[in-house]
Amino acid sequence: MLSKFFIIFNASLQNEFTYRLNFILWRFRNVLRLLMTYFLWRGIFVNSPQVFGYDQSQILTYILLTLIVVSIVLSSPSGERIGEEIANGDLSNYLVKPLNYLRYWFIRDVASKILNLSFNILELSLLFLWLRPIVNLPNNLISIFGFVYAISIAVGIYFLLNASLRFFAFWSPENIWSIAFLTFVFLETLSGAVFPLDILPKTVQIGLQFTPFPYLIYYPIAIFLGKIQGLEIIRILIQSTIWLFLIFRFAQFIWKKGLKTYGAYGK
Amino acid sequence: MTDPVIQVKNLKKYYSVHQKEPGLLGSLKSLFKRKYYDVKAVDNVSFEIKEGELVGFIGPNGAGKTTTLKVLSGLLYPTSGQVSVLGFTPWERKSAYQKQFSIVMGQKNQLWWDLPAIESFILNKAIYEVPDAQFQKTLDELVDLLEVRDILKVQVRKLSLGQRMKMELIAALIHSPKILFLDEPTIGLDVVMQKKIREFIQEYNKRFNATIILTSHYMEDVKQLCERVIVIDHGTILFDGKLDEIIKKFASDKTLDVTFDGKVDLEKLKEIGKIESFEYPKATINVKRSKASEAATELLKKFQVADINITEPQIEDIIRQLFTNK
């Protein structure tokens, strides 16, 4: 079992490295985005010490953190492949093997995330050495552990949400791309990737609590920044774990239904 | 060698397919209302295959060959009927079953496009949980049989179609499956490569006593490899038996090739049988199977004959007839 994981992981990394130029350009884009965001906000703070009630270090922390969390959680290159493979029949290659298809793509996702994350850390360290921005780091271990746990659950939730969405390719192989695109626009907004959810009206915030979306971006960040503390952290983490479980069952359900209609077409 | 390893009983697989009228207007209409109709891809098919048999499925495009293989591999749930392979029900997709069979689809590839083929083999080794020693032994054997040692470490995208097909075969066989489904393994390959793949399939069947079902559009594949064939058209089995029995069963005629040595009265010749061609001194005459030797004797009696040959029609012709008569 462990060796299966390791070999799929290993092959995924090799695969990423075959597209060297692509990879380098992708990193370049990330660094550029980081720098642009940084200088934009520094410019805003030149004349005013406070914006939206945040001081410079608070907003900088928030924005850098969002960039990182989004790049870890809301990246699932596997999703697209799952949709494609169902639509064009390549799924058949996996179905005849003693292999769990979902687990396989999750491992490949994790491989690409780890690769991205390690470069992220490298780039950020260089940025910090160079620009020495002032950021707020959590001053207690609970926030850090809570953050790490929340992120891990978020990765799982996003992967499963994305995958179950792509499973609709079983029924509608031609339209899967547009369905996915539309859903992701909503999903990004409701997860807190576009703006912090606490600027929304209270009722909307309460409503969102009953969806899995804020557990993707907003809550992990809120835990890290200390906006959520103590027992509240535990409550959020338990709720997110329940969501992960529910979505896992949902994904399995759709998958099994889908396989019944799967025609294994595509020559 | 006695118990069948593959048993298929009254297998049916119907698809519901929607119809689209031609043109953009048709597309728009199909957004709102779709007409569905049933396609009977496989309609009441039964057969049994014993261990070590190499059976050929033949039939035109859309006959139901591939659908049958897909049901046997567990890719499709049948509409009705029973299927048992090695005692397993394929569509339950038990890993104990999956470790014992393999399917190769000539028009699909399972190899990782951007990596050398060896990486895909290693991946399959892990997926099928093949022990190290066995992996090395099987790999060496297959690599030597197919003569691909020098290209193991070349990116798959850079291989030719024939080389890639060989690699696909290795990837499919690395876990030493007892049962092998080959769906058009020689499609698109040149004649030399077709022959090589064919020889390999034969060797694999003999060496490992593997049970193999093969579909192909090339009659040559089937003729060379399969003692037994199952002819399928429109989802039903037309024939199941030895290849040469097809001729006995379905060929109603035999052909007499005659070379004359003297004058020929065409009217008299017409009494013998149907004249396919006549170009003095040669003639080709079709006669009823049962009357062949009678006709030959008559020819010898009534004409001056230098040479006479009674031939069976070509298997290709019979199969073509079978499919067009339906």
What is the rounded (10 degree) CA torsion for A184, A188, A189, A195?
-160
Residues 6+ apart with CB under 8 A from A261: A170, A171
When CB atoms are compared, the residue of A8, A95, A262 closest to B123 is: A8
Tens digits of per-residue pLDDT, B2-38? 679 999 999 999 987 777 777 777 777 776 777 777 8
> In terms of Cα–Cα distance, which of B263, B266, B288, B284 is closest to B275?
B284
Q: What confidence category does residue A144 fall into, taking pLDDT thresholds of 50, 70 and 90? A: very high
Examine the pLDDT at B166 and tell me if it is beyond 90: yes
The single-letter code of the amino acid at B312 is E
Tens digits of per-residue pLDDT, A30-65? 888 888 888 887 788 777 777 767 777 877 888 888
Examine the pLDDT at A127 and tell me if it is beyond 60: yes
Q: What is the pLDDT of residue B6?
A: 96
Residue B175 contacts residue B124 (beta carbons within 8 Å): yes
Domain covering B252-325, topology: Alpha-Beta Plaits (3.30.70)
Q: Environment class of residue B155 by beta-carbon count within 10 Å: exposed (0-12), middle (13-18) or buried (19+)?
A: middle
Domain with CATH 3.30.70 in chain B: 252-325
DSSP output for B195-234: HHHHHHHHHHHHHHT-EEEEE-S-HHHHHHH-SEEEEEET
Q: What is the pLDDT of residue B79?
A: 93
Examine the pLDDT at A267 and tell me if it is beyond 50: no
Nearest CA in chain B to A19: B114
DSSP output for chain A: -HHHHHHHHHHHHHHHHHSHHHHHHHHHHHHHHHHHHHHHHHHHTTT-SEETTEEHHHHHHHHHHHHHHHHHHS--HHHHHHHHHHHHSTHHHHHTSS--HHHHHHHHHHHHHHHHHHHHHHHHHHHHHHH-------SSHHHHHHHHHHHHHHHHHHHHHHHHHHGGGGT-TTTHHHHHHHHHHHHHHHHTSSS-GGGS-HHHHHHHHTSSGGGTTHHHHHHHHTSS-THHHHHHHHHHHHHHHHHHHHHHHHHHHHHHH------
Q: What is the pLDDT of residue A2?
A: 66
Whether the bond into B22 is cis, omega within 30 of 0: no
Nearest CA in chain A to B187: A267
Cβ distance of B127 and A99 shorter than 8 Å: yes
Query: By mean pLDDT, which of A12-16, A41-45, B72-76 is the weakest?
Result: A41-45
Partners of B226 in the β-ladder: none
Which phi and psi (to 5°) does residue B267 adopt?
Answer: -60, -45
Tens digits of per-residue pLDDT, B133-155? 999 999 999 999 999 999 999 99
Query: Looking at beta carbons, which residues of chain B come within 8 Å of A170?
Result: none
Tens digits of per-residue pLDDT, A195-252? 888 888 889 988 998 899 999 999 999 999 888 888 999 999 999 999 999 999 999 9
When CB atoms are compared, the residue of A15, A99, A266 closest to B115 is: A15
Tens digits of per-residue pLDDT, B179-188? 999 999 988 8
Residue B140 contacts residue B194 (beta carbons within 8 Å): no
Nearest CA in chain A to B17: A263
Domain covering B4-248, topology: Rossmann fold (3.40.50)
Interchain contact A22–B (C-beta under 8 A): no
Query: By mean pLDDT, which of A211-220, B237-246, B261-270 is the weakest?
Result: B261-270
Q: What is the pLDDT of residue B317?
A: 78
Interface test with A, best of B76, B107, B155 (most A CBs within 10 A): B76
Q: What is the pLDDT of residue A266?
A: 54
Q: Which helix (H) or strand (E) holds B181?
A: strand B179-183
ipTM above 0.85, yes or no: no
Looking at residues B55-79, what average pLDDT do you find?
91
Examine the pLDDT at A152 and tell me if it is beyond 80: yes
Cβ distance of B112 and A15 shorter than 8 Å: yes
Q: What is the pLDDT of residue B89?
A: 96
Residue B19 contacts residue B36 (beta carbons within 8 Å): yes
Residue spans per domain, chain A: 2-261
Strand order in the sheet with B228-233: B101-105, B179-183, B211-215, B54-58, B228-233, B236-242
Q: What is the pLDDT of residue B268?
A: 81
Query: Looking at beta carbons, which residues of chain B come within 8 Å of A257?
Result: none
Interface test with A, best of B15, B105, B154, B187 (most A CBs within 10 A): B105
Looking at residues A71-79, what average pLDDT do you find?
89
Interface test with B, best of A2, A97, A103, A172 (most B CBs within 10 A): A97
User: How many angstroms separate the CA atoms of A46 and A37, rounded?
Assistant: 15
* Cα angle for residues B197, B201, B207 (degrees, 5° grid): 135
Tokens representing residue A40 in the block = 């934009």
User: How many angstroms separate the CA atoms of B212 and B180, rounded?
Assistant: 5
Q: What confidence category does residue B325 fall into, taking pLDDT thresholds of 50, 70 and 90? A: low
Which DSSP category does B159 fall into? Answer: S
User: How many angstroms separate the CA atoms of B308 and B95, rounded?
Assistant: 60
Residues 6+ apart with CB under 8 A from B61: B217
Strand order in the sheet with B35-50: B35-50, B4-19, B80-85
Nearest CA in chain B to A11: B119
Q: HSE on the CB side for B236, CA within 13 Å? A: 5
Nearest CA in chain B to A7: B123
Nearest CA in chain B to A14: B115
Neighbours of B39 (CB within 10 A): 14
Tens digits of per-residue pLDDT, B107-125? 788 999 999 999 999 999 9
Q: What is the pLDDT of residue A1?
A: 60
Q: Choose between B62 and B138: higher pLDDT.
A: B138
Cβ distance of A96 and B98 shorter than 8 Å: yes
Q: Which helix (H) or strand (E) holds B136?
A: helix B132-146
User: How many angstroms separate the CA atoms of B4 and B51, rounded?
Assistant: 6
Cβ distance of B76 and A266 shorter than 8 Å: no
Looking at residues A70-90, what average pLDDT do you find?
89
Cβ distance of B105 and A92 shorter than 8 Å: yes
Maximum average pLDDT range among A169-173, A185-189, B198-202, B313-317: B198-202
Examine the pLDDT at B1 and tell me if it is beyond 60: no
Looking at residues A161-168, what average pLDDT do you find?
92
Residues 74-113 of B with CB under 8 A from A: 74-77, 93, 95, 98-99, 101-103, 105, 107-108, 110, 112
